[in-house]
Amino acid sequence: MDAISYERAPDAAAAIRSASQPGVVFIGGGTNLLDLMKGGVARPVKLVDITHIDGLDRVTPLPDGGLRIGALARNSDAANHAWVRERYPLLSQAFLAGASAQLRNMATVGGNLMQRTRCHYFYDTGFPQCNKRTPGSGCAALEGNNRIHAILGASAQCIATNPSDMSVALAALEAVVRVSGPRGERAIPIAEFHRLPGERPDLDTTLQPGELITAVDLPPPRFAQHAKYLKLRDRASYAFALVSVAAALDMDGDTVKTARIALGGVAHKPWRASETEQMLAGKPLSRATLQSAAALAVREAKPYRDNAFKVELAQRAIVRAVEQAAAQGGVA
């Protein structure tokens, strides 16, 4: 094993200063990073422990009626926080769909945002072809086992998917990621935080070097009464989504005033189904309308040898998630 140094940051400013050096990585819960290190995928030269920075684990109300969740809030704590459960049940459901209870007790909100793909070829260094791990080496998944891979937004360089459940709900809720770095603070809309692979699949996010995630801001709640996170996977627990749907509705009787729908398991980032949302807005919710709207979400899908089933599965999942969201109240 390579030598690794360790530093406990007393505050965000100290952490950011340390991260300006090459090979330095922040560590919170470490549930993904340590796996990557053990497999030889990640090789940091220094770990900066941010878990003792005061205030980053808090959940606080915002003046506009929204909610700020600190980057060090544990997934289990955030999922079960009364304000999250009551005002943003979609997010609570997504948290609870992820990983296992033990991992949720360690994993942080900031770390969840930074999760790397669970592509077999990325994790197994015995396969030299992985543009995400070694840029320019190729993508073994294109001709390999690609059952779990992307059907939307992929490129010839990478067809991996984002593994986060939380981020899919955040995409539907139009959250904002707050970061602090060498050039100061900035707010990144969740739609702009994760990247599609393009020619640089090694870059998962739009974070700049040295930037630290400090919080996630949620807008004032609009979808507390009608929300559903549906996760379809190979087994009932501790499995990543083949397809997931975050559906949030603002209803007036049987009519959809506004819809927010995001998909997981289908792209390199949470995939917002904007055309589906637009087709549903202002219409009574019927099965026929919903099926037509769901088809729009995958009309540009480009499946591979083993994952063509995801095209139909995604449509069926959208229909089910939206109908369940419309039929029930939202408290998780």
Interval 189-221: pLDDT, tens = 999 999 999 999 999 999 999 999 999 999 999
Q: Which of 267, 325, 328 minimizes the C-alpha distance to 297?
A: 267
Query: How many CA atoms are closer than 13 Å to the CA of 328, on its beta-carbon side?
Result: 15
* Alpha helices, DSSP H, located in the chain: 12-18, 33-38, 75-80, 82-87, 89-97, 101-104, 109-113, 120-123, 166-173, 190-193, 274-280, 287-297, 309-327
Residue 82 CA, distance from chain mean position: 22
Task: Give the Cα separation of 135 and 108 in Å (integer).
Answer: 28
Instruction: Give the pLDDT confidence score for residue 331 in this predicted structure.
Output: 42
The two tokens of residue 43 are 């090789």
Looking at the chain, the whole-number percentage of residues with pLDDT higher than 90 is 96
Given a cut of 50, whether residue 26 has pLDDT beyond it is yes
pTM exceeds 0.85 for this model: yes
> What is the DSSP code string of 242-304?
SEEEEEEEEEETTEEEEEEEEEESSSSS-EE-HHHHHHHTTEE--HHHHHHHHHHHTTT----
Query: How many CA atoms are closer than 13 Å to the CA of 163, on its beta-carbon side?
Result: 17
Instruction: Give the pLDDT confidence score for residue 298 in this predicted structure.
Output: 98
Given a cut of 50, whether residue 68 has pLDDT beyond it is yes
Measure the CA dihedral 186/106/125/310, to 10°.
-80
Query: Stretch 224-230: mean pLDDT, rounded?
Result: 98
Using 50, 70 and 90 to split pLDDT, how confident is the model at 20?
confident
Query: Is pLDDT larger for residue 200 or for residue 329?
Result: 200
Given a cut of 50, whether residue 316 has pLDDT beyond it is yes
Instruction: Give the pLDDT confidence score for residue 157 in this predicted structure.
Output: 98
- Residue 111 and residue 28 in contact, taking contact as beta carbons nearer than 8 Å: yes
Using 50, 70 and 90 to split pLDDT, how confident is the model at 329?
low
Query: Stretch 177-191: mean pLDDT, rounded?
Result: 98
Instruction: Give the pLDDT confidence score for residue 237 in this predicted structure.
Output: 85
Instruction: Give the pLDDT confidence score for residue 238 in this predicted structure.
Output: 87
> What is the DSSP code string of 298-331?
TTT----TTTTHHHHHHHHHHHHHHHHHHHS---
Query: Stretch 308-330: mean pLDDT, rounded?
Result: 93
Helix (H/G/I), strand (E/B), else coil: 230: strand
239-250 confidence digits (pLDDT tens)? 999 999 999 999
Task: Give the Cα separation of 18 and 9 in Å (integer).
Answer: 8
Q: Which helix (H) or strand (E) holds 236?
A: none
Mean pLDDT of the chain: 96
Helix (H/G/I), strand (E/B), else coil: 17: helix
Given a cut of 50, whether residue 332 has pLDDT beyond it is no
Residue 318 CA, distance from chain mean position: 18
Query: Stretch 251-258: mean pLDDT, rounded?
Result: 97
Q: Which helix (H) or strand (E) holds 218?
A: strand 212-218
Given a cut of 80, whether residue 103 has pLDDT beyond it is yes
DSSP letter, residue 180: E
Using 50, 70 and 90 to split pLDDT, how confident is the model at 73?
very high
Using 50, 70 and 90 to split pLDDT, how confident is the model at 43?
very high
Task: Give the Cα separation of 180 and 168 in Å (integer).
Answer: 23
Torsion sign, CA atoms 262, 263, 264, 270: negative
What are the sequence ranges of the domains in the chain? 227-327
Looking at the chain, the whole-number percentage of residues with pLDDT higher than 70 is 98
53-62 confidence digits (pLDDT tens)? 999 999 999 9
Q: CATH topology for 227-327?
A: Enolase-like; domain 1 (3.30.390)
Residue 227's alpha-carbon distances to 131, 206, 221, 295, in angstroms, are: 37, 28, 11, 21
Single-letter amino acid, residue 161: T
Query: Stretch 123-127: mean pLDDT, rounded?
Result: 96
- Residue 188 and residue 110 in contact, taking contact as beta carbons nearer than 8 Å: no
Instruction: Give the pLDDT confidence score for residue 328 in this predicted structure.
Output: 79
| Least confident span in 134-138, 183-187, 273-277, 328-332 | 328-332
Task: Give the Cα separation of 291 and 244 in Å (integer).
Answer: 17
Instruction: Give the pLDDT confidence score for residue 2 in this predicted structure.
Output: 78
